[in-house]
Structure 1
């Protein structure tokens, strides 16, 4: 994609990929320019979201961003803390994160996913006003929805490898499956 095509996508909104009663609603920080240009979440080639989703067992095969709608069949969805597209998350203001957190809470109350998985602990901290939050399950809930902070899958997040991210996403998947099993037991 040409640089001018990416720049033209700045500030665009990308529709959520959601449904009522999801097992997990994954929440990115905000759409990148490639995502906004293509309309596919986590579309930048260096982004590890789709490989990590597969490596952690959430999807039976590696889905390309163009096949994103298939995750709904697995009880998964995608939204963002901040709706507007930017080249980098550091272009967002703390006010945008806080307002995004308020909008996200209302969205979660309406959709009632079992889990909200925020992919970026720094975004979670700012959006939810929890500066000491760490990767993993959070004490905070939104109604009956539990929250898990996950590592950001951006290629810029060099502290985490695809494998170490897959292990953390896998911890969430195990918690989801334990919850699913508990709901079907008499």
Structure 2
């Protein structure tokens, strides 16, 4: 078993899935932000799951619909795998998380972690200045900001000077949003951000 501070190279390269023991060890691993100054859209997840932390890739768990929605909405020219996430900044896109701590489920997070995550996110926005902050998951935004009535779509107030768009969670567990509707909401954001439809 690899030590908790490292990822198995075959797992990190996407050559095989992590074992149950590697997933459990991933609780001690972080996940680097994928950011650059002046991005058109910075996507913000809730927090890294065990699968993402084990692989070192955002939205990596099989069944997560983030990458399919990103392509179906025209953000990417092809359907990227999580193991191609480093291609996003060249397209003006980045990824971060509201809370840095890795958990098996988002409901393991405490309310104070969301509040602290919002403060960290403010600092990140001050240094990177993206055009839009796209938060995937209403619950995380509501918990972090206290905006209990926030709904999917553009928000009336900027966050640290950055426009905010709330997106549905792309988790396969979110049955309220089917793939076509999810992609349509992603496409609304892409159009608002002034990005072209890159699908081939």
CA-to-aligned-CA distance 1:124-168 (integer Å, 9 cap, x gap): 111111111000000121343100000010111111111111001
Relative to its length, the structure with more helix (as a share) is 1
Listed as ranges, the matches of 1:28-39 within 5 Å are: 28-39=45-56
Determine the structure 2 residue equivalent to 1:184: none
Answer yes or no: is the 8 Å Cα contact 1:52–1:169 preserved in 2: yes
Answer yes or no: is the 8 Å Cα contact 2:122–2:160 preserved in 1: no
Task: Quote the Cα distance in structure 1 between the aligned partners of 2:78 and 2:144.
Answer: 32
Relative to its length, the structure with more strand (as a share) is 1
Task: Quote the Cα distance in structure 2 between the aligned partners of 1:175 and 1:99.
Answer: 29
Alignment length (residue pairs): 179
Determine the structure 1 residue equivalent to 2:185: 168
Determine the structure 2 residue equivalent to 1:48: 65
Answer yes or no: is the 8 Å Cα contact 1:31–1:41 preserved in 2: yes
Q: 1:174 to 1:156 in 2, by over 3 A?
A: same
Answer yes or no: is the 8 Å Cα contact 2:129–2:162 preserved in 1: yes
Query: Once superposed, which parts of structure 1, at least 4 consecutive aligned residues long, lie more than 3 Å away?
Result: none
Determine the structure 1 residue equivalent to 2:22: 5
Listed as ranges, the matches of 1:124-135 within 5 Å are: 124-135=141-152
Determine the structure 2 residue equivalent to 1:183: none
Structure 2 gaps, min length 5: 1-17
Q: In angstroms, what is the RMSD of aligned CA positions? A: 1.2
**TM-score normalised over the length of structure 2:** 0.87
